[in-house]
């Protein structure tokens, strides 16, 4: 995986490995797309995914925000994201947040 940086998390979807990255910009984008304000509201939203009827769309929006395209000319990436099932990427998303915020609040 080229362009892999410290803090990135790998996720395998449809047999290909991609990277997820959480930055201040992606956090702002996540807050905007999911309609939350701050990390505590975001954490509550993510915890409620299993109870919320809109959770699959929200999980997909979360994935789209943190997804790092390998090749900007790769037109298969957006289609692949839309086909992905939450069970394929939610563990990687959880790991991304856990590793990014490890040690905060202690």
Q: What single DSSP character describes residue 101? A: S
**Which run of H or E residues covers position 89?**
helix 86-100
Tens digit of pLDDT for each residue in 4-55?
Answer: 788 899 999 888 888 999 999 999 999 999 999 988 898 888 888 877 777 8
pLDDT the model gives residue 2 = 59
- Cα 4 from Cα 10, distance rounded (Å): 9
To which residue do tokens 């990277």 refer?
A: 19
**Total residues found in the chain within this entry:** 106
> Residue 55, class by beta-carbon neighbours within 10 Å (0-12 exposed, 13-18 middle, 19+ buried)?
middle
Strand order, beta sheet including 16-20 = 9-13, 16-20, 67-68
Tens digit of pLDDT for each residue in 47-69?
Answer: 888 777 778 889 999 999 999 86
The domains of the chain are located at 19-98
């Amino acid at each position: 995986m080229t362009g892999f940086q410290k803090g990135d998390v790998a996720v395998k979807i449809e047999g290909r490995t991609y990277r997820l990255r959480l930055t201040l910009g992606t956090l702002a984008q996540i807050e905007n797309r999911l309609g939350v304000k701050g990390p505590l509201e975001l954490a509550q939203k993510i915890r409620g995914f299993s109870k919320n009827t809109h959770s699959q769309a929200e999980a997909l929006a979360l994935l789209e925000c943190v997804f790092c395209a390998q090749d900007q000319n790769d037109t298969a990436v957006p289609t692949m994201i839309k086909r992905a099932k939450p069970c394929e990427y939610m563990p990687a998303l959880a790991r991304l947040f856990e590793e990014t915020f490890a040690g905060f609040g202690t």
